[in-house]
Amino acid sequence: MQRVLIANRGEVALRVIRACRQAGLETVSVYSQADTGAPHVWAADRAVCIGPAPAKHSYLAAGTIITVAQGSGCDAIHPGYGFLAENAQFADQCRESGLEFIGPCGATIALMGDKLSARRSAAKLGLPVVPGSDRGYTETAQAAGAAEQIGYPLLLKARSGGGGRGMRIVDSSDELDQQFVQAHREAESAFGDGSLYLERFFQRVRHIEVQIFGDRHGNYRQLGERDCSVQRRHQKLIEESPSPALDDSQRREMCQAAVALAEGIGYVNAGTVEFIHDMDSGNYYFIEMNTRIQVEHPVTETVTGTDLVAEQLRVAAGRPLSFVDHTPVSRGHAIEWRINAEDPDHGFMPAAGRISRWRPPTGRDLRLDSATYEGQAVLPYYDSLLAKLIVSGEDRDRVIARSRRALSQFDIDGIPTTVPFYQRLVDDHRFISGDIHTRWVDQHVIQGHG
């Protein structure tokens, strides 16, 4: 493997370019017409325009991307996250075209991308799964019987979905039809598959994910967990490691379960096994697996000292994991703050415009992953993520204190961002104590209840 095409944009494209450069690999960037002056364009050894601004005509144009990769002499394609990263057909097309897809094979992506088949696989391998339906439904009448068996409240979830789309909480049978129709339409629009399945709904849960890796030599390892419980409408806002909600025994059991799943399905490359942790019972349940590198991977890199993207390249080149003989030990604590171009005071509405001032904080124990610069136009076509501020330290209290200082020094003007919201959050006694759950932001921070 000598030359890699990065099928993405923004900070993740820069992240992959940096890892490739450190590994001695050449890089080719692709970009839309709207991204002509973007940093990932000039950071790569070569860049090729692949279409107009809308993602479906550029970053989602699988055939065009493969053609560019072949024409530019690439050996492999790194999809980053989002866009085509979890597209099983694209992964197969890459390999059929003689290109290494830096991620798992298409069959594995499809297996885990179908939430019902993922549940069945996890249960077969002995992982606890949330009690729920064993099939998907497209009509309320079909789902009603299963809903009565599971009991209310319950959760409707898109069979092929993610990111909170096609997901609804149903408190009683009276709400089932309305919520089902809405979730079905949303799932159909977002994923081309309106099928929904049902799960028991737990009132107070933590969202815990375990970083796993597998290689082609039969090695499967975990690199600890991340806590992603600070969310708004099922969208993650911040992530941290280790989780303040787990004790050592729970942490060890959850990580072992994640490795068992990876080994059981023969998983290759980077992946994340996701769980919910019921705060009332202390039980944990498998919910899904993400078959790619995550937005929040720097949290794990920070506490383990392991370059996860470099490890992806290593595995894709056919080499064994660099940590086969040892499991990287997590040290200290880290929190990632997602700096988004959104207006927290107006429903987190995505904001487009020009950044007139961009002065991120600098200093010891701060890491900034970003492709944003002063004078840049924030476009309405793509994700609102501007930067990821990763703060680390010896323990959680010190990381929160450093985060408070770093956020106060983050000077941005021209568009609204999530920074002021985080400045309020970092002073909230409930966040400081760690006594939160996945609906805490929606219920108590935004609505002001409790």
- 313 CB neighbour count, 10 Å cutoff: 23
* Paired sense of beta strands 26-32 and 3-6, if any: parallel
Tokens of 293: 């590198």
* C-alpha distances out from residue 406 to 361, 402, 432, Å: 6, 6, 16
Q: Angle 320-321-322 (CA atoms, 0-180°, nearest 5)?
A: 115
Residue 262 contacts residue 105 (beta carbons within 8 Å): no
Distance CA 265, CA 217 (A): 14
Question: Annotated catalytic residue: which of 292, 314, 338, 402?
Answer: 292
Residue whose entry in the numeric block shows the structure tokens 């806590």: 227
**Residue 61 φ/ψ region, left for φ over 0, alpha for ψ in the -120 to 50 degree band, beta for the rest:** beta
Q: How many CA atoms lie within 13 A of 63 on its CB side?
A: 1
Residue whose entry in the numeric block shows the structure tokens 């003989």: 325
Residue 440 dihedral angles phi and psi, to the nearest 5°: -60, -45
What stretch of H or E contains 145? Answer: helix 140-150
Distance CA 99, CA 92 (A): 9
Nearest in space to 323 (alpha carbons), one of 344, 300, 340: 300
For the chain, what is the total number of helices (H) and then of strands (E)? 15, 24
Q: Is 292 a catalytic residue?
A: yes
Distance CA 120, CA 99 (A): 31
Distance CA 225, CA 147 (A): 32
Distance CA 414, CA 358 (A): 9
Enumerate the active-site residues: 292
